[in-house]
């Protein structure tokens, strides 16, 4: 994963970026009832908010995981 690859959808779910084009991003949405992300979905970039990077100097930042 690269820095800043997590996005927050309008409904509060978090998705990991797996692809993009000019106006959309493809996100694999995290699920609370399953240890792996759901099938990828395409969403408009303006609908989502980029999350801060979970990594800093090779270490996981705990606050960003909440």
Range of the domain at 14: 6-65
Tell me the pLDDT tens digit for each residue of 7-17: 899 888 888 88
Q: What is the pTM of this model?
A: 0.65
Tell me the pLDDT tens digit for each residue of 19-51: 889 899 999 888 878 777 788 899 998 888 888
Give the CA dihedral 7, 15, 47, 20, nearest 10 degrees: 90
Asked, for residue 23, whether it belongs to a domain, the answer is yes
Asked, for residue 1, whether it belongs to a domain, the answer is no
Buried b (16+ CB within 10 A) or exposed e, 26-48: ebbbeeeeeeeeeebeebeeeeb
Give how many domains the chain has, as a whole number: 1
Distance of CA 25 to the CA centre of its chain: 10
């Amino acid at each position: 994963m690269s820095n800043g690859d997590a996005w927050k959808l309008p409904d509060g779910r978090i998705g990991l970026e797996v692809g993009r084009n000019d106006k959309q991003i493809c996100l694999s949405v995290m699920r609370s009832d399953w240890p792996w992300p759901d099938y990828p979905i395409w969403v408009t970039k303006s609908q989502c908010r980029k999350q801060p990077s979970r990594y800093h100097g090779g270490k996981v930042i705990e606050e960003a995981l909440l």
